[in-house]
Amino acid sequence: MPGKLKVKIVAGRHLPVMDRASDLTDAFVEVKFGNMTFKTDVYHKSLNPQWNSEWFKFEVDDEDLQDEPLQITVLDHDTYSANDAIGKVYIDIDPLLYSEAATVISGWFPIYDTIHGIRGEINVVVKVDLFNDLNRFRQSSCGVKFFCTTSIPKCYRAVIIHGFVEELVVNEDPEYQWIDRIRTPRASNEARQRLISLMSGELQRKIGLKVLEMRGNAVVGYLQCFDLEGESGLVVRAIGTACTLDKLSSTAAFLPACNSPSKEMKESPLVHPPSHGCRSTHNSPIHTATGSRLTQNFSVSVPTLIYTGMGSGSAGKEGGPFKALLRQQTQSALEQREFPFFTLTAFPPGFLVHVGGVVSARSVKLLDRIHNPDEPETRDAWWAEIRQEIKSHAKALGCHAVVGYSESTSICEEVCILSASGTAAVLNPRFLQDGTVEGCLEQRQEENLPAGCGFCHIPYDELNMPFPAHLTYCYSCRKQKVPDVLFTTIDLPTDATVIGKGCLIQARLCRLKKKAQAEANATAISNLLPFMEYEVHTQLMNKLKLKGMNALFGLRIQITVGENMLMGLASATGVYLTALPTPGGIQIAGKTPNDGSYEQHISHMQKKINDTIAKNKELYEINPPEIPEEIIGSPIPEPRQRSRLLRSQSESSDEVIELDLSHGKKDAFVLEIDDTDAMEDVHSLLTDVPPPSGFYSCNTEIMPGINNWTSEIQMFTSVRVSRLSNINLTNQTLNKNFNDLCENLLKSLYFKLRSMIPCCLCHVNFTVSLPEDELIQVTVTAVAITFDKHQAVQTTKTHVEKSLQRASTDNEELLQFPLELCTDSLGSHPFSPAKATSIDYSSFADRCNSWIELIKLKAQTIRRGSIKTTVSVEKASPLTEGHFRQRSAPACANSTVGVVKMTPLSFIPGAKITKYLGIINMFFIRETTSLREEGGVSGFLHAFIAEVFAMVRAHVAALGGNAVVSYIMKQCVFMENPNKNQAQCLINVSGDAVIFVRESELEIISTQQPIASCQPACGGGEIAT
């Protein structure tokens, strides 16, 4: 009996009228945990009942504590008939189970009913007393911390990064059980919600056990997904990265911890303009395979690009033995692991040594009923197979690890596509083994790690390349080989140097397929997949070149299967990496070059393309410094005839010659318009409209090239469902429709958020689903962050110091990466260096308008009533800032709702996260039988998503938090039946509840932290080395 759960029901408010006669409600509450139920007294005739109950105590195993949700049901007492349910609240008590997270859950929770939505609120207090349990063979894993964040959380330090953990549990879906025919939709929805809640708890506990086995204490990058397999069941699966994390006890640990890396840095070449000490490695575009059960796992590697002219020669030999040594080390560290995968997308400095390229694998499976839920072997085997595939792809790229790893499924009827993707990489072994910090530092010095460009260097052997690629010497260090383009699924590394800004790049594709059954269907799909994969990559490559960029980060390719079509949507953030060569242009070649008018048409297109490239370069401020020819040294074969494409890429006249030369070497990309398909490709290339001025967008955590964020953020979800006219559907019209749908959606977002300009849409996450034959659903979640156009944060003078600080602080530093640019290319510096030497905080303060003051005050109100935290946190919290006064507007006078920020990013601009309160993982179902009355499908879903946000915020506030970071809407399954006036929607969201403190306040409190005062966007309390 290692735990005691205590629950107190305080009050309710805004309850619905349940008794028409009196216009009032006789409400009481049932509190259920496991098999035990308590009830409050009935509070007669009130819509704002004050139960003020005793403490209900549940004595339970910690295993149950982890698995079971606390279930609170509000009912209306009825003397003569059955009591009517008003609604429920499920509370995940997991955050109370580890010592560093929340100590109490207390606050107003929306009372939720799957048919009526939110119906009033209830005030609940929950506490857990845990007793120490010394039983080594226990089944629980209390104490293991979970984070959705895909980087090392801000107030922690990674001691060891152990590696991949995965688990899946299966069950029958209550919606498809026989009993569902006789029970109400409400009962069925609630059974489903409860089951999924239970399964998530169980899954989390099991993963926790695995982490404990690995001697870790946390899971970072935890991603849990549901597969609604319909008849064949319900699968809940999760992956994550096991770590041993150390809490950074803010002030005490701060100084020593920050000094040592700084000292080290001064001696290392890291901070100098990267010009030496590079080794060779390399990238691949993408390595893919599709397999299907039916065809005995055939595996197709798809070359994505038409590369002509391959790098040859044997430069980089000096790096050879060194590379081998490193590989050996890493290998030993990784080889014990079945799958050397990491779900992280951002890493402690020095962790990532080389990046090979994207690896992905897909497999088409036929679903059948899961016969024994206790042994989910088939599903396990499926995933194991795919992971094996990924692992071997990574090996082929000369890499031992896969980072930025993720898995997904797409299900249509009985066919399921399993997908996995990640970035093959070579990692620094020091994070993977037990070792002291000192040891690591020494090792690091020996290694003489290059800065900024190291990760771009190819990890594979250039004489034995896994695919055709075009290598040159690194444009930063000139010592090692780099590929001409780099695709990855991770965020841009902190130390990467880029030129200009990045941008969102999407490839969109539809392919019709015949309706078919079972095996025939699966075969058809697996036959289509390689082609889709190929085309998606071609599109990505074209668009990347059109933008004048040479690398993609955060690449995510989603293939969605429907009844009669397949959809592919790839999103990534394009950047220009200084280490990689300038991308060549795009050349259009006609099939019948002798036809005069045709020729003219082609040259017209060519001009348009060239103009677009030039325009894009200007737009994204891509003006790389010119590199003298000699330095590059060229083991590169003579280009073919490509004179045509070399024109008009640049506007500055003295650049022209250089550009021409480099283009010549670069082996430009040739598009042959030999059929209508290709014609259409070219057109679609040119139809992508850049965002309006003042707007930027990316799908990574932060926008490369923007670092002066201000504090205003707006997270949003937008959903569109489009109906295709089903006559004469062709691939072309489908593609156009889909393209328009996405483009229009983006345009709408830009329009809606125009008041935030200048701003950047970050972490733009598109999901496509095909709920019915002619319906395409696109869901977008992103966050808009404002930035200060005029405030350049860094200066050339203090560059060195700054990078010291940078390196010693943490991943928050991601914001700061353009620092390095300054020394490299003073002339082409994208930001005005005018306002250089110090950071001006006054404009920050100006932006802290009345609302933010109010936020502080509100948060205070909430906290006061609820939580005790450690003194240090209390000090740093926004809540003690009593001197902020509310404005006199009457509407503000007695508001008690605290503001909770939500963001898909792992940080909050201009603020420091002081505490992680636990993971939020919520699943809701909403159903209606009066669709028209609720405003049609749009009204229904709009209200539901707003309610989901509200419930997430309420849970965070109850934990004592004021924000959710790494928020993600993992599923939004919408089904409608307008004829029956019905609709149903399932939403699954997750994120990390945190407490953050505004940087401006932090300064007042901790003036002894010098670093914090230099950099508005980073905390300064965290060290990751």
Rounded to whole angstroms, the Cα distance separating 846 from 731 reads 53
Helix axis angle, 518-546 relative to 596-619, nearest 10°? 70
Nearer to other proteins among residue 248 and residue 945 (C-beta):
945
Nearest distance from residue 756's CB to other proteins, in Å? Answer: 10
Nearer to other proteins among residue 293 and residue 942 (C-beta):
942
Nearest distance from residue 901's CB to other proteins, in Å? Answer: 7
Nearest distance from residue 919's CB to other proteins, in Å? Answer: 19
Nearer to other proteins among residue 731 and residue 828 (C-beta):
731
Nearest distance from residue 249's CB to other proteins, in Å? Answer: 32
Which residue bears the tokens 């395979």?
A: 289
Instruction: Please check whether residue 506 is in contact with residue 766, taking contact to mean a CB–CB distance below 8 angstroms.
Output: yes
Nearer to other proteins among residue 645 and residue 951 (C-beta):
951
Nearer to other proteins among residue 587 and residue 737 (C-beta):
737
Backbone angles phi, psi at 405, to 5 degrees: -85, 140
Residue 589 CB-density burial (10 A; 0-12 exposed, 13-18 middle, 19+ buried): middle
Strand duo 401-412 + 27-33: pairing: unpaired
Nearer to other proteins among residue 47 and residue 656 (C-beta):
47
Rounded to whole angstroms, the Cα distance separating 140 from 64 reads 8
Nearest distance from residue 501's CB to other proteins, in Å? Answer: 20
Instruction: Please check whether residue 361 is in contact with residue 420, taking contact to mean a CB–CB distance below 8 angstroms.
Output: yes
DSSP assigned state of 838:
S
Q: 825: closest CA among 497, 455, 494, 549?
A: 497
Nearer to other proteins among residue 984 and residue 1025 (C-beta):
984
Nearest distance from residue 635's CB to other proteins, in Å? Answer: 47
Backbone angles phi, psi at 81, to 5 degrees: -120, -175
Nearest distance from residue 118's CB to other proteins, in Å? Answer: 6
Nearer to other proteins among residue 371 and residue 980 (C-beta):
980
Nearer to other proteins among residue 212 and residue 908 (C-beta):
908
Nearest distance from residue 15's CB to other proteins, in Å? Answer: 12
Nearest distance from residue 947's CB to other proteins, in Å? Answer: 6
Nearer to other proteins among residue 345 and residue 735 (C-beta):
735
Rounded to whole angstroms, the Cα distance separating 780 from 768 reads 9
Nearest distance from residue 722's CB to other proteins, in Å? Answer: 5
For residue 217, give both structure tokens: 């204490």
Question: What is the rounded (10 degree) CA torsion for 860, 966, 153, 915?
Answer: 10
Nearest distance from residue 931's CB to other proteins, in Å? Answer: 11
Nearer to other proteins among residue 105 and residue 579 (C-beta):
105
Instruction: Please check whether residue 51 is in contact with residue 15, taking contact to mean a CB–CB distance below 8 angstroms.
Output: no
Rounded to whole angstroms, the Cα distance separating 279 from 299 reads 32
Instruction: Provide long-range contacts, Cβ within 8 A and 24+ apart, for 645-651.
Output: 645/584, 645/585, 645/586, 645/587, 645/606, 645/610, 646/585, 647/610, 648/607, 648/610, 648/611, 648/614, 649/585, 649/610, 649/613, 649/614, 649/617, 650/614, 650/617, 651/614, 651/618
Nearer to other proteins among residue 413 and residue 743 (C-beta):
743
For residue 75, give both structure tokens: 């009912």
Rounded to whole angstroms, the Cα distance separating 359 from 507 reads 17
Q: Letter for the amino acid at 513?
A: K
Backbone angles phi, psi at 498, to 5 degrees: -125, 165
| Positions that interact with other proteins (CB under 8 A) | 13-14, 108, 110, 118, 121, 692, 714-725, 737, 740-741, 744, 747-752, 754, 775, 777, 850-851, 854, 886-887, 889-897, 899-902, 935, 937-939, 941-943, 945-947, 949-950, 953-954, 974
Instruction: Please check whether residue 762 is in contact with residue 701, taking contact to mean a CB–CB distance below 8 angstroms.
Output: yes
Strand duo 486-487 + 551-561: pairing: parallel
Nearest distance from residue 957's CB to other proteins, in Å? Answer: 9
Nearest distance from residue 718's CB to other proteins, in Å? Answer: 4
Q: 146: closest CA among 235, 64, 241, 236?
A: 241
Which residue bears the tokens 């593609």?
A: 735
Nearer to other proteins among residue 437 and residue 757 (C-beta):
757
Nearer to other proteins among residue 115 and residue 516 (C-beta):
115
Nearest distance from residue 597's CB to other proteins, in Å? Answer: 33
Nearest distance from residue 59's CB to other proteins, in Å? Answer: 32
What single string gives the DSSP state of each residue in 776-833? EEEEEEEEEEEE-SS-----STTHHHHHHHHHHS-GGGGGGGGGGHHHH-STT-SS-G
Nearer to other proteins among residue 260 and residue 722 (C-beta):
722
**97, 127, 156, 987, 1021 from 145: Cα distances, Å:** 9, 18, 11, 24, 20
For residue 997, give both structure tokens: 């403190």
Nearer to other proteins among residue 48 and residue 301 (C-beta):
48
Nearer to other proteins among residue 42 and residue 892 (C-beta):
892
What is the Cα 674 distance to its own chain's centre? 39
Nearest distance from residue 86's CB to other proteins, in Å? Answer: 16
Nearer to other proteins among residue 288 and residue 560 (C-beta):
560
**Which residues in 367-497 belong to E strands, given as ranges?**
401-412, 415-427, 471-473, 481-483, 486-487
What single string gives the DSSP state of each residue in 834-872? GG-SS---HHHHHHS-HHHHHHHHHHHHHHHHH----HH
Identify the three-state secondary structure at position 324: helix
Nearest distance from residue 586's CB to other proteins, in Å? Answer: 26
- Count of helix runs (H) and strand runs (E) in the chain: 20, 32
**323, 341, 999 from 426: Cα distances, Å:** 10, 11, 36
Nearest distance from residue 935's CB to other proteins, in Å? Answer: 6
Q: Letter for the amino acid at 861?
A: T
Q: How big is the chain by its Cα radius of gyration, in Å?
A: 28
For residue 711, give both structure tokens: 């504090």
